[in-house]
Structure 1
Amino acid sequence: MPELPEVEVTRQGITPYLQGHTVTDLIVRNPQLRWPVPQIASNIIGQQIRHIRRRAKYLLLDTDAGTTIVHLGMSGSLRVVPAGSPAGKHDHIDLVLDNGQALRLNDPRRFGAWLWCELPESAHPLLQKLGPEPLSEHFNADYLAQRLKGKKQAIKQCLMDNHIVVGVGNIYANEALFAAGIDPRIAGGQITLPRLEKLVEEIKLVLAFAIKQGGTTLKDFTNAEGKPGYFAQQLHVYGRKGLPCTQCGTLLQEIRQGQRSTVFCPVCQH
């Protein structure tokens, strides 16, 4: 599943081709995505795209009439292609622009979403209860301490709760906890403020680094054959079960938390 850095790099990649341009058509080949594509999604036709924003893993295409909300689901990707280009089997939606280009949604598993919202998007049911962005100033140690107070749930699962903070997916939760030296099994409410300050710092660093890596390894959003996904990353624990810790050499262990894989060093993380 594309995580926050992949979605942010997608936003950065498509913005130069969309922002300031007017939508001339919306071609929906298959409306049956995670939720049916609503007919009112066509309200974007004739509108100028003012901004392309990201909220959590949602992409928001702002116009004066409303906002298109796009989610890539588990297998979706967005590409910019010449308008009228032949569509492949899983090319479900084209947003056609006045510059002769089209934003194309490809989604083999159809767990993505293409929705329309005329209210402030913060009032949309999918967005209204989300926590702060992890790279924003609103996500800090004091905020996290307040949200974790009394929590018995493991810190790894707390970090992946979008009501607490958005976009810290499995890969980045693993990596940030390792960098902060925190055992992923510890109850969130037991972690001291100084350790939370270190954890918040490492979350911001690991996400910013991943976005930077994506910007250098995944630049081309105009190649219709390209399939953006996880880009080159330097991972210390995720996917390295049984390999030596990069800091102390101890073999890394793997457990399951909330049906997700957690890899950690039993020596460096405590």
Structure 2
Amino acid sequence: MGIFRRGASYDLDGRRVLITGAGNGIGAELARSCHARGAKVVAVDIDADAVARLATELGPRAVSARADVTAPEDMRAATDLALEKFGALDVVIANAGVTPDPGMLRSTDPAEVRQVIDINVFGVLHTVQAAADALAASGGHVQITGSCSAFMPGPGGAAYMISKAALESLARSLRLEVAGSGISVGIAMLGMIDTSLAAKTLDDDPYGQALGAQLPAVLSSRMSPHDAAEAICRQIERRAPRKVVPTPWLPLDLARGALPYLEGLTLKSKGLARALAELDAR
């Protein structure tokens, strides 16, 4: 098995797929998209009622599990459920994550930063560790939901961006480590997706509105959770190590060396400076 394997067809029909953060948003749409391709789905979320409703919607090829990704024992139990119900595990989609309220790093409670890291980073680690043996047995795939903020961070949300930068390195390191075991690893670097998390930080908060106004229209336009899920499923079907969506973000990923220059332009924005001053005064 090659470290840089990609392009091989990996039909999801009949695959056993575990998805964290499946209670709403991208996670719920991933469950629907995988199921529509013929997969058997284990929908995992801390909101037991939400994933129970989703499993009922999907029918007999789906089961739900209440699990907190910050608790390793919960993720082991979710993996055990997948093995018990479906006999094996082929794909794990580590999708669970949170976005904190906007805030300045210098005044943010460290406990809030730890919570974001605990869910967004350690949650993925616990998910991967719980499923590793089962995926090695099936020659399966790990899929991680990342963010373009890993390579294009902005002010006012450092905890989230730190966590997503960590996930990019986690995915690359994991890919190298498990290549010999037959497991493939992919990460989707997502731009603006129209989820409740985006609404909370960009639409409902005055600072988020001001920050969003600084983005070019091509970057601020949002992809639907369904379209994001479909893009991720296509990535899994190719076992591709990396995918940037929506595509307008791809040039920024390819030209990371130019990003410090763009940051310099951002610093000159008077509108953003006013918004940051107001955020700092909260």
TM-score, normalisation: structure 2? 0.29
Structure with max Cα Rg: 1
* TM-score normalised over the length of structure 1: 0.30
Higher strand share: 1
